[in-house]
Amino acid sequence: MNDIYRDLTLGRFLSYVTYNTASVRGEAATPSSPGQWDLAKALLEELKTLGLSDVTLTDHCYVIARLPATKGKEGLPAIGFIAHLDTSEEVSGEGVRPILVEHYDGRPIELSGGLRLDPQQEGALKAQEGKAIVHTDGSTLLGADNKAGIAIIMGAVEYLLKHPEIPHGAVEVIFTPDEETGKGLPQFPLEALKSKACYTIDGGGLGELDWECFNAWSAEINFTGISMHLGAARGRMVNAVLMASAFAGMLPRNESPEATDGYYGYYCALAIQGDVEEASLKVYIRDFDFAEGERRVAALHTYAKAVEALYPGGKAKVSAQVQYYNMKEKILAQPEVLDKLRRAYDNLGIPVREKPIRGGTDGSRLTELGIPTPNVFTGGWNAHSRLEWLSVEEMAASCQVVVELIKLW
């Protein structure tokens, strides 16, 4: 049966990853990059070609399509499936060359730049021996986050259109821009959505099921120094670059992404730029406990005062805002949404692996707005990395989960 879902997803995935859709942090426009428009327009035409008439591409690059309920099922609740168009800008998405390995032999895979995929270090890769995988050549990311999700949803839509005998309620398809920058839903036309519940298809390996995530803050710290001729700087110049560096050095190393896992939160110094007179530092704060996140925000203000004390005459100003909230509480308040998802896994013999997302999805924001939206696996691994790879079998299984969910609803 998985061969059917493989055929519905693999070709699409290999095509979608060739679009450079990297979003741009700090860009005010939505979408933040032109490549997202290119993929959105291609998906719009593909949905129309499949036979959907209710398809829209909004002014802010949201693709919204609706598969009508089958006859006699119009009274059933609508459900939605979401994936995002963009990829992370942390690694290049230009000129992605996906490499399909039909029967992985279980040995290390040498990539460009001295990188390698090593099954001795990645148990998930070792488990793919004899199976099909897709990986990069090492010069770019792959884009399984989240083009695998798009391929899975599109494959499920085609499956239902080819099997009109399967009864179902209305199904909504939503492809969003700029998820990776944390602003994927502010421009979303919520009034256009009829779904009682949604599911993001944006998780990792087989069986992953996510329904809690970080609370997230984005902070920018702006430093103002005093510029002077370097030959006459003693006792007069205040270097904003050094202020920003000193601030970054105050962030606790044991509360960083590379030093934490599970339910531990962190600070992440994300970007620093500037010159002697003006500099800025971007910091992300993440924690499952909202109060702990607020504690970290308060600490940023303390660090700013400390830097001002170290650099008399200089100024440090912290601006922080919430990006998204932990979706746990609101999802648990509507248990049917999770119950049906667990049942879909069980019906297909897929062991459930429930874990917290050390990040967020568009589902975080949508849940906050009142539509519970847990997250389903895609088969993608090592996201945001030149070592990113995809299990073809797991992507096909996810497509089957989507179809099963639609049947259950």
**348 with 401: CB under 8 angstroms?**
yes
As a whole number of angstroms, the distance between CA 378 and CA 396 comes to 8
Residues present in the chain in total? 409
What six digits make up the tokens of 223? 């430093």
As a whole number of angstroms, the distance between CA 80 and CA 35 comes to 24
**403 with 156: CB under 8 angstroms?**
yes
7 is catalytic: no
275 is catalytic: no
Instruction: List the catalytic residue out of 46, 86, 172, 178.
Output: 86
- 162's enclosing H/E stretch is helix 144-162
85 strand-pairing partners:
none
Instruction: List the catalytic residue out of 46, 178, 179, 394.
Output: 179
**383 with 136: CB under 8 angstroms?**
no
Helix 144-162 to helix 2-16 angle (10° resolution) is 130
As a whole number of angstroms, the distance between CA 301 and CA 368 comes to 27
As a whole number of angstroms, the distance between CA 62 and CA 185 comes to 9
DSSP state of 197: E
Taking alpha carbons only, the member of 202, 196, 197, 211 closest to residue 328 is: 211
As a whole number of angstroms, the distance between CA 135 and CA 155 comes to 21
As a whole number of angstroms, the distance between CA 73 and CA 82 comes to 22
> Cis omega before residue 167 (within 30°)?
no
State whether residue 141 is helix, strand or coil. Answer: coil
Contacts of 391 (CB under 8 A, 6+ apart): 124, 128, 131, 132, 133, 205, 206, 379, 380, 381
Q: Which residues are marked as active site?
A: 86, 179
